[in-house]
Structure 1
Amino acid sequence: MGELIPIVAIIFGCFIPITAIALKHREKVAAMRADATAAQTAEKAAQYASQVQRLEDRVQVLERIVTDRGYDVATQIEALRDTRSIEEAGVEEQGSGVPLDVTSREKA
């Protein structure tokens, strides 16, 4: 029994440094995963911000179209509907409807 005490002491003496090395390695791996997750989150946030900016730009254009030419657009849409219903009835009428103004206005 007395012979086992030195053997157990040697085993535990080796076990403690190995455990310390393993714990340091786990900490490094956890830190690397946290950094990678933070980088991915930042990248996704940048993508979302870019997409939001594009959508806001599109909404601004639509708002400008509606507010600058709101009545004209409604009139032109109705004229197109009238033209389509006449064509569907088989009657061709020249000059019916309101022509669309496809030129863009300059920003005020």
Structure 2
Amino acid sequence: MNAAPLIVTITAICTAGWAFTTWLRIKNGYPLDGSWGQALYPKTSDETTERVRLLSQENAQLRAELGSIKDRLANVERIVTDSSHALDREIEQLRGRAN
């Protein structure tokens, strides 16, 4: 009995399985690991940590600015949709407070 075809078939099946699981990991964002289990991606370093920190700060600043813009937009919408009579009355009341 010749064992070569059996060995080739088992090797092909194992290689195809490895390639498929690697493709699934890449597709779903899981980190890849080396032959001894060490993580290949993502690599964490001081530079990466600093970049994440800076991006988090920028994100917080942009969210605060967006909140401010939403408030201003709500005021503009209120002014635009309000009747001109009520707007004139509010402006006169504000002028009266300033004097």
Query: What range describes the TM-score normalised by the shorter chain of this pair?
Result: 0.3 to 0.5
Q: TM-score scaled by structure 1?
A: 0.39
Using structure 2 for the length normalisation, give the TM-score.
Answer: 0.42
Larger Rg: 1
